[in-house]
């Protein structure tokens, strides 16, 4: 039950401690206000097709939890709201349910409550290395539309009981891309994905990348709060700012594979900025954790805040659809402009239109 207990530790820490690092790179992006948008707000179509599912707007609730009896209601509330609004969600690592079948219901409740929503399964790369057949089991558990393989090696490295063997990771990912019948998403968990890794993942057969960039919840900080080892605790805090900020990862990866922008997405405006930079959709977890502890209605209200903020951004930039954001000019400054130069891109040319 060690994995199960860790699940609740993570939730309690995320609810009670400051675990966000702050800078996502989206702070350096300004969408240009269109004072005369020349469209009716009611004309705007926020919907987006992603991996063969139509979403009401280009947003998912990111992988969060499951695997402890107290997490069942959280996933139930998330799924109920997701189904009602017509978006999608992921679940937390399903490792605990593989270890203890009594916990399967804490995950399967998601499909029960969201029969038509886009739902993705989730398992860690370290578990795939040990047992590639685990992928089919977690997909079946949810009747999932896709599977996410999460890369959390920063978290593993600072965790007392962390699995620090990454040898064979890429090979294991390539194997499940061949064997499973649903799309494979590879997602980071707070440290971002670089262009070089994205190219390797494309070659491996991955269908999409969730950049999981720096700027939102840092699991290095979360593990520091959990640790009973003073050395590991200090190291966890030392690596609080480690990683590639979300916006940097989006511009690195979005022309290689369909990209999900995750990591510090805290509003519909952040969703719009991410898509303007090249992402297909965005996702977020922490803003939905506290509402999910209360009710499905509270989750729904938070989703609607993101949706209204996104639609408002489209209106104020003169866009009828999310795709039009990628053709709108941007003002890019600060570290993100420097990153573009570092990657051999002209910030001015990039800002004038991505597609």
DSSP string of 97-163, one letter each residue: HHH-GGGTHHHHHHHHH-SSSEEEEEEEHHHHHH-TTHHHHHHHHHT-SEEEEEE-HHHHHTSTT--
pLDDT, residue 355, reads 59
Residue 340's CATH number: 3.20.20.70
Helices H / strands E in the chain, number of each: 17, 12
Give percent of the chain with pLDDT exceeding 90.
Answer: 83
pLDDT of residue 88: 97
Q: How many domains would you assign to the chain?
A: 1
Cα-based distances in Å from 250 to 58, 195, 196: 15, 9, 13
Q: Measuring CA to CA, which residue among 280, 282, 254, 330 is closest to residue 59?
A: 282
- For residue 308, give its domain range: 2-351
Mean pLDDT over 137-164 rounds to 94
State the average pLDDT over residues 153-165: 90
Look-up: residue for tokens 């709060």? 225
Residue whose entry in the numeric block shows the structure tokens 């017509």: 86
Choose the weakest-confidence range: 128-137, 176-185, 244-253: 128-137
Confidence of residue 195 (pLDDT cuts 50, 70, 90): very high
Residue 354 has pLDDT above 80, yes or no: no
Mean pLDDT of the chain: 94
Q: Which of the residue ranges 216-230, 232-246, 266-280 would you say has the lowest mean pLDDT?
A: 216-230
Average pLDDT score over residue span 183-209 = 98
For range 193-208, the mean pLDDT: 98
Reply yes or no on whether the pLDDT at 4 is more than 80: no
Of 342 and 13, the structure prediction assigns the larger pLDDT to 342
Percentage of residues in the chain having pLDDT higher than 70: 98
**Mean pLDDT for the stretch of residues 221-239:** 91
Cα(90)–Cα(93) distance, integer angstroms: 9
pLDDT tens by residue, 52-81: 899 999 999 999 888 888 899 999 999 999
- 1 has a pLDDT exceeding 50: no
The mean per-residue pLDDT over the stretch 212-219 comes to 93
pLDDT at 228 over 80: yes
**Residue 106 clears pLDDT 50, i.e. is over it:** yes
Given a cut of 70, whether residue 186 has pLDDT beyond it is: yes
28 or 9, higher pLDDT: 28
How large is the average pLDDT for residues 105-111? 95
pLDDT computed for residue 161 by the predictor? 84
Specify the residue for token string 């930079």: 277
Residue 41 has pLDDT above 80, yes or no: yes
107's CB contacts (< 8 A; 6+ apart) are 66, 67, 75, 91, 94, 97, 141, 142
Q: For residue 5, name the pLDDT band (cuts at 50, 70, 90).
A: confident
**pTM metric for this prediction:** 0.95
């Amino acid at each position: 039950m060690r994995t199960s207990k860790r699940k609740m530790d993570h939730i309690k820490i995320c609810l009670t401690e400051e675990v966000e690092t702050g800078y996502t790179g989206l702070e350096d992006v300004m969408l240009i206000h269109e004072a005369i948008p020349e469209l009716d707000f009611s004309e705007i179509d926020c919907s987006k097709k992603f991996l063969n599912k139509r979403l009401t707007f280009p947003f998912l609730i990111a992988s969060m939890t499951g695997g402890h009896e107290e997490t069942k209601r959280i996933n139930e509330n998330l799924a109920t709201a997701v189904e009602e609004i017509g978006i999608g969600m992921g679940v937390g690592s399903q490792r605990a349910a593989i270890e203890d079948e009594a916990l399967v219901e804490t995950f399967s409740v998601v499909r029960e409550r969201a029969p038509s929503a886009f739902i993705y399964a989730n398992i860690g790369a370290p578990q795939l290395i040990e047992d590639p057949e685990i992928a089919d089991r977690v997909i079946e558990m949810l009747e999932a539309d896709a599977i996410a393989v999460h890369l959390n090696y920063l978290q593993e490295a600072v965790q007392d009981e962390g699995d620090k063997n990454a040898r064979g990771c890429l090979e294991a990912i390539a194997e499940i891309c061949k064997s499973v019948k649903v799309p494979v998403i590879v997602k980071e968990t707070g440290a971002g994905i670089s262009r070089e890794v994205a190219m390797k993942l494309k070659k491996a057969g991955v269908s999409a990348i969730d950049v999981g960039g720096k700027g939102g919840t840092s699991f290095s900080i979360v593990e520091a709060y959990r640790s009973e080892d003073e050395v590991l605790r200090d190291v966890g805090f030392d690596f609080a700012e480690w990683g590639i900020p979300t916006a940097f990862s989006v511009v690195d990866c979005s022309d290689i594979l369909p990209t999900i922008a995750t990591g510090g997405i805290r509003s519909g405006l952040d969703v719009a900025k991410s898509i303007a930079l090249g992402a297909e959709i965005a996702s977020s977890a922490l803003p939905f954790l506290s509402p999910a502890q209360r009710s499905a209605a509270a989750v729904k209200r938070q989703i609607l805040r993101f949706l209204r903020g996104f639609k408002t951004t489209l209106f104020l930039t003169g866009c009828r659809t999310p795709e039009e954001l990628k053709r709108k000019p941007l003002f890019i400054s600060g570290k993100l402009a420097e990153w573009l130069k570092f990657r051999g891109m002209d910030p001015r040319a990039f800002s004038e239109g991505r597609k």
